[in-house]
Amino acid sequence: MTHRARKPYIAGNWKMNLDRSKCLDMVKTIKGRLGDGNDREVGVFAPSIYLADVTAVAQGSPLGVGGQNIWYEDSGAFTGELAARMLREIGADRVLIGHSERRHLFHEPDEWMGRKVRCALNHDLLPIYCVGETIEERRGNRTERVIKRQLEAGFEGVRAEDSHRFTVAYEPVWAIGTGETATTEQAAHVHKMIRKWILQRLGDEAAQSLRVIYGGSVKPDNAKELMSVEDIDGLLVGGASLQADTFIPIIEYDAR
């Protein structure tokens, strides 16, 4: 199976940006450009307060809509948190887990990751599990060690049969929101290492079907080059996903 046998996945992480009407406008614009969605998968990760409205507008199109985080219990005294079943209830079909801002600003530990991933899968949400090293870890030659540790944590409850519903995002922390993108060589090296790790963990079939996408200052002018790298199966886009004139060209990157 070549990497293009895996459907390209372009995801927009809106973080704590946009207002309700801008979110809905973006969804309408993206929806209008998607066609049947057969050749690529597109998802947007909207602020949770707008998710019910966003999923209502996206309905009937192949556009996926997701939350940016979940807690791994179904209910209880967890002030400020959202359960996977709540995302499902309002029509979301996917979720980000372990985004670097959750890990670094909100101190989410590795120990939560496997439970969150398993919980999402158990509730029929499609998780994107984010991993990535800081600049200090890269400079200290610890990139592989850090990413393998994060993979160990997130894959704790993942089975080979989950591989078509589970996505890993490699997002070097130093490239997120900084304008600095990993070179294709840097990204290729880490993506290859991640695929090898998955192969050893879940076997060949799962390693061939599980998508590993790249995130970190993706822009219209670097999307095509990144997508030409073997083992990069899609893009997780932050800043450039906030406006149609930068996100649409990324979604419509020329795959030839």
> Which residues would be at the binding site for ligand PEP (CB under 6 A)?
13, 171, 176-177, 215-218, 236-240
Radius of gyration of the chain (CA): 17
CB of 101 to ligand PEP, least distance (A): 7
- For ligand PEP, the closer of residues 104 and 159 by Cβ is 104
Q: Which is nearer to ligand PEP, 206 or 218 (CB)?
A: 218
Q: Which of 41, 99, 101, 108 is catalytic?
A: 99
Q: Is 225 among the residues known to form the active site?
A: no
Q: At its nearest, how many Å lie between ligand PEP and the CB of residue 11?
A: 8
Q: For this structure, is 171 an active site residue?
A: yes
Q: Which residue is nearest to ligand PEP (CB)?
A: 238
CB-nearer residue toward ligand PEP: 30 or 207? 30
The smaller minimum CB distance to ligand PEP, of residues 163 and 217, is found at 217
Annotated active-site residue in 101, 108, 133, 171: 171
Residue 151 CB, nearest distance to ligand PEP (Å)? Answer: 18
Handedness of CA 60, 248, 168, 164 (dihedral sign): positive
Active site (catalytic) residues: 99, 171
